[in-house]
Amino acid sequence: MNTKQVSETMVPAKRLVWALVTAGVLGAAGGAAAMRGAVAIKTSATPAEAATPASELLASAAPSAQGPAPVATPAPAGFPDFAQIAARQGAAVVNISVTGSVKTSMRRGQQPQLDPNDPFYEFFRRFGVPGMPGAPEGREMPTRGQGSGFIVSDDGVILTNAHVVRDASEVTVKLTDRREFRAKVLGADPKTDVAVIKIEAKGLPTVQLGSTKDLRVGEWVLAIGSPYGFENSVSAGVVSAKGRALPQENFVPFLQTDVAINPGNSGGPLFNARGEVVGINSQIYSQSGGYQGLSFAIPIELANRVRQQIQNGGKAQHARLGVTIQDVNQSFADSFKLERPEGALVASVEEGGPAAKAGLRPGDVILKFKGQAIVASTDLPTLLGLATPGESAKLEIWRQGKREEISAKLGDANDKGAQVASSDEAGPAQGKLGLALRPLQPEEKRESGLREGLVVEDAGGPAAQAGVRPGDVLLAVNGTPVSSIEQVRSVVAGAEKSVALLVQRGKEKIFVPVRLG
């Protein structure tokens, strides 16, 4: 299973697993046996017991004649009262059922290619894909999925994940009192995976929204949702990390937890120890399709901001700077004389974009955005996602060995998104740079649109090990533009541990760190 697991489906009844307590007591070591395909039945049940509700049998299992029946006790000191949180907030958590359709277009016998990011992936994986043998071709086939959500206003406004309601033709919301409502999707923002839906009802229970600002790593958190269709299931854990960046998810500083989250939990709330919602459970990292201890939630401040934008204008807005950035590793830090490997290295600047108008250049390292420190390069898109298009933002940058401040008027990410550049892994190497270079010919300048640069004729030694290839065009060394071999030699001669080479490969510009020794 890929890193992102966002499918929401009901497990068939034949696959349900029920535990049978054989020793007459409840507990992790109580001798539980598992059965598949049917509800477990107590083998020695008397007729009276067989007619008694399960809740009464469980309630009467533990007490004995040796002492009084146990009474409810508060949670131990230092532990949150999960039972109270579930009782107080559970009624505002809803189950969401989604109906959609997919058009069959595959030839009979053709092997399907399933997208793990599709909300109906798990449904297709379990029950087959329309278009396979036996399915009519060229027709709309119904699909179904499930997720969770939570009520944020008593008139029926609900927050959930965008992937839960993506491509849905019908959305049904089921409350804990078993009432069901047809929901309208007010809007969805794929960039943050937040969606807002609404049902026509009044006087509904609502959750209390909290803040992640004071949330600490190691604090208790609790999730309520519908994993595999089991409505209002509660699971608990701790905050594992804050501000976690995930691949292709540049606009969200995720909360990482070890709370048990499974398909169906998506869109459900994550509560802190005070019973306040601090996040929306959105993704898991899994190689099996199920929980493996790595769960990710969207911070509630970001989700609520998106909700307000959708309710006010029908869509969410995110700011754009117009740069391609890379992470600053130790080699880049050594090359640019930075004290530590932090910041967002500007690999390229969009022509005519906000960054270009502000004077930002390739080779600049963005250290702060609106006063907020940029530690990892992924911090910048996250902060941009919280900014407003059209506003002016101050950037602290590192340029040619010193700090500078510039101001940029931000654009709209809906027009064109910011990108994060990637490069080949750079490994340690010894010796000289190892490049055979020549100047660009006039026709090459016209074709590439470059004014200056040096073509890599051959690559060996440290440069080749770092990922530089023949055909790359060397544009700058340590942020200094180069147009002659002498310039390259001069800059490299003054470098101590490593150099940062800005190369153009096709239409992409990336920095490649080269360790000199």
Residue 72 resides in a domain: no
Q: Is 193 annotated as a binding residue?
A: yes
Phi/psi region, residue 289 (left: phi>0; alpha: psi -120 to 50; beta: rest), is left
Q: Does any domain span residue 425? A: no
Q: How many percent of the chain have pLDDT more than 70?
A: 73
Q: Say how far apart CA 493 and CA 515 lie, in whole Å.
A: 13
54: pLDDT strictly greater than 70: no
276 and 214 housed in the same domain: yes
How would you label 142-161 residue by residue, b for 16+ Cβ within 10 Å and e otherwise? ebbbbbbbbbbeeebbbbbb
| 16-20, 335-339, 441-445, 506-510: the lowest-pLDDT one | 16-20
Are the CB atoms for 294 and 300 separated by under 8 Å?
A: no
Q: Where are the alpha helices (DSSP H) in 224-378?
A: 300-313, 330-335, 354-358
Q: Name the residue range of residue 440's domain.
A: 435-515
3-state secondary structure 56-96: HHHHCCCCCCCCCCCCCCCCCCCCCCHHHHHHHHHHHEEEE
Cβ(175)–Cβ(183) below 8 Å: no
Q: Determine the length of the chain.
A: 517
Residues 325 and 309 in one domain: no
**414 among the known binding-site residues?**
no
Is residue 74 one of the residues assigned to a domain? no
Answer yes or no: do 186 and 302 share one domain: yes
**Confidence grade of residue 492 (pLDDT, cut at 50, 70, 90):** confident
What is the secondary structure of 370-393 as a DSSP string? TTEE--STTHHHHHHHHS-TT-EE
Name, of 107-116, 121-130, 155-164, 433-442, the range with top average pLDDT: 155-164
Task: Examine the pLDDT at 241 and tell me if it is beyond 50.
Answer: yes
DSSP 8-state symbol, 23: S
Check the annotation: does 312 bind a ligand: no
Answer whether residue 166 is part of any domain: yes
Whether residue 117 is annotated as binding a ligand: the answer is no
pLDDT digits (tens, 9 = 90+) for 242-261: 988 887 677 888 999 999 99
In the numeric block, which tokens belong to residue 503?
């190369």
308 and 324 in a single domain? The answer is: no
Q: What type of residue is 326?
A: Q
Q: Which CATH number do you get for residue 444?
A: 2.30.42.10
Task: Kindly state the average pLDDT of the residues 424-445.
Answer: 64
Residues 310 and 323 in one domain: no
Separation CA 392–CA 412 (nearest Å): 12
pTM: 0.64
| Domain co-membership, 175 together with 114 | yes
**Same structural domain, 15 and 136:** yes
219 & 363 share domain: no
Which residue, of 374, 397, 420, is where some domain finishes? Answer: 420
Instruction: Among 316, 346, 375, identify where a domain stops.
Output: 316
User: Where in the sequence numbering do the catalytic residues fall?
Assistant: 163, 193, 266
| CA Rg value for the chain | 28
Q: Which amino acid is located at 328 in the chain?
A: V
Please give the Cα distance from 236 to 224 (Å, whole number): 9
Give, as one character, the DSSP assignment of residue 343: S
d(CA 186, CA 488): 56
Residue 375 falls within a domain, yes or no?
Answer: yes
Examine the domain organization and report whether 88 and 197 are in the same domain.
Answer: yes
> Residue for token digits 């958590």?
93
Same domain as 343, residue 279: no
The answer to whether 155 is annotated as binding is: no
Q: Does residue 477 surpass a pLDDT of 60?
A: yes
Structural domain includes residue 98: yes
- Is residue 18 within 8 Å of residue 35, measured between CB atoms? yes
CATH number at residue 195: 2.40.10.120
CA distance 233 to 242: 24
Residue for token pair 């994993």:
227
pLDDT at 435 over 90: no
137: Cβ–Cβ under 8 A, 6 or more apart, which residues? 104, 105, 106, 107, 108, 131
- Report which listed range, 155-159, 288-292, 498-502, is most confident: 155-159
Same-domain pairing of 119 and 202: yes
Query: Is residue 66 included in any domain, yes or no?
Result: no
Task: Please identify, among 316, 347, 382, the residue that sits at the C-terminal boundary of a domain.
Answer: 316
Residues 301 and 396 in one domain: no
Question: What is the average per-residue pLDDT within 159-178?
Answer: 94
Q: In the predicted model, what is the mean pLDDT of the chain?
A: 78
- Residue 396: pLDDT over 90: yes
Strands (E), 202-268: 208-209, 220-225, 233-246, 249-257
**Scanning the structure block, which residue is given the tokens 């299931």?**
233
pLDDT bucket at 442, cuts 50 / 70 / 90: confident
Q: Looking at the 3D structure of the chain, how many domains does it have?
A: 3
**pLDDT: which is higher, 437 or 56:** 437
pLDDT one-digit tens code per residue, 68-84: 444 455 555 567 899 99
How distant, in Å, are the alpha carbons of 32, 143, 181, 252, 295 from that of 242? 37, 35, 35, 11, 12
Q: Is residue 19 one of the residues assigned to a domain?
A: yes
CA torsion, ordered 188, 279, 228, 207, to nearest 10 deg: -90
* Residue 42 Cα distances to 34, 36, 53, angstroms: 12, 15, 13
Q: What φ, ψ does residue 256 adopt, rounded to 5°?
A: -100, 135
The whole-number average pLDDT for the span 53-57 is 38
